[in-house]
Amino acid sequence: MLKLGVNIDHVATLREARYRGRGAGEPDPVAAALVCEGAGAHGITAHLREDRRHIQDRDIWDLREVIQTRLNLEMANAPEIVAIALKLKPDIICLVPERRQEVTTEGGLDVAGNLSALAETRKRMNDTGIEVSLFIAPDPAQIEAAARTGSQFIELHTGAFAEHYDDERGRMAELDRLIAGARQAHALGLKVNAGHGLNYQNLALIHRVPHLIELNIGHSIISRAVTVGLETATRQMLHLMENYPG
């Protein structure tokens, strides 16, 4: 069964647009996470960025207390955030690149160029009982390097696929890259997740990518929730994920 992790960052983005710097405000990303769980989501993803532009520290601690499925903390490999994760003990972390000027995470980690640092963080997390995923492009060298870090998972960056979706040649080329990447990762003993830019229109093609365990999807679900409600939006995404051949 293909699992769904709902990224709730954009709920916090909406809150921070009005209540930034305050200790409370609406909408509440923790309440949103509970709605997603109740609708059948298999996990909740939240990105604690160094600049705290959306998810705040209080959010992740509250999430850790109430989440009954699986808490995935997206994070940069930065000393402050690593220290928080080791205390928080999410079920899994996903290490991502982070740049101040980006709207959302763009591109994958350069694992090959940062092998030692990522392997060290992986070991520290695993020693505390936390699984580790690396957010990477479907590039053979990066997948090989990810396996060398000892990480349990990779998350294939599907952004290029999503961006080329309206161009048949482009989307098929990117889909082929994802298929090859998933096969390579599986052969190397890595578990495979995927995410970034996935939505209600392009999800069907992702069923062609083998060995997927979980899709992490945020913006599309939160956007649809504006018109149909978060519970319905989550259930509709889960319906589209049914019958994944694996």
Could you give the residue numbers annotated as active site?
47, 74, 196
Residue 99 exposed, middle or buried by CB count within 10 Å (0-12, 13-18, 19+):
exposed
Residue carrying structure tokens 């492009």:
137
Distance CA 230, CA 8 (A): 11
Is the separation of the CB atoms in 95 and 47 below 8 Å? no
Query: Which SS3 state, helix, strand or coil, does residue 108 take?
Result: coil
Closest CA to 133 of 73, 67, 179, 178: 73
- Identify the CA nearest to 5 among candidates 202, 198, 245, 204: 198
CB 169 within 8 A of CB 206: no
Residue for token digits 């949103």? 32
| CA 85 – CA 48 distance, rounded (Å) | 10
